[in-house]
Amino acid sequence: MNFLRVLPVLLSAVVLAAHFLRSGRFGLTTVCLVFPAILLIPHRWSARLVQIALVLGSLEWVRTLVVLASHRNAMGDSWTRMALILGVVAGLTAASALVFRMKGLRERYEL
């Protein structure tokens, strides 16, 4: 049952890895694909480390949103739909850090 609870974390990590892969940052791609494996260690620090990574990932999505929106705006292209999509992705990535507030995960990681 805990697998279903951490599924948002896994999906956020995969989407973030795809983002870094597209930009050619292979080291960060690998980190994004590996960091959810830390959750196999049932300690408080492992959950906190993953939460920090997810918040940093959310900040990366916001940074990407600002950069792409400014480029599109400078070229005169529409940027609102892209900003909405990236804003939702950033929000979902940040929200996936909240799964550790669920009872089963709080007990597993002694939070």
The predicted-structure confidence for 63-93, as pLDDT tens digits, reads as follows 999 999 999 999 999 999 999 999 999 999 9
Rounded distance, CA 89 to CA 67, Å?
15
Type of residue found at 49: L
Cβ atoms of 85 and 61 within 8 Å: the answer is no
DSSP assignment letter at 25: -
Res. 111: pLDDT tops 90: no
pTM for the model stands at 0.90
Confidence of residue 1 (pLDDT cuts 50, 70, 90): low
| Orientation angle between helical segments 26-34 and 2-22, nearest 10 degrees | 180
Q: What is the pLDDT of residue 2?
A: 80
Cβ atoms of 111 and 44 within 8 Å: the answer is yes
Q: Strand, coil or helix: what is 95?
A: helix
Res. 3: pLDDT tops 90: no
- What's the pLDDT tens digit per position in 20-70? 999 999 999 999 999 999 999 999 999 999 999 999 999 999 999 999 999
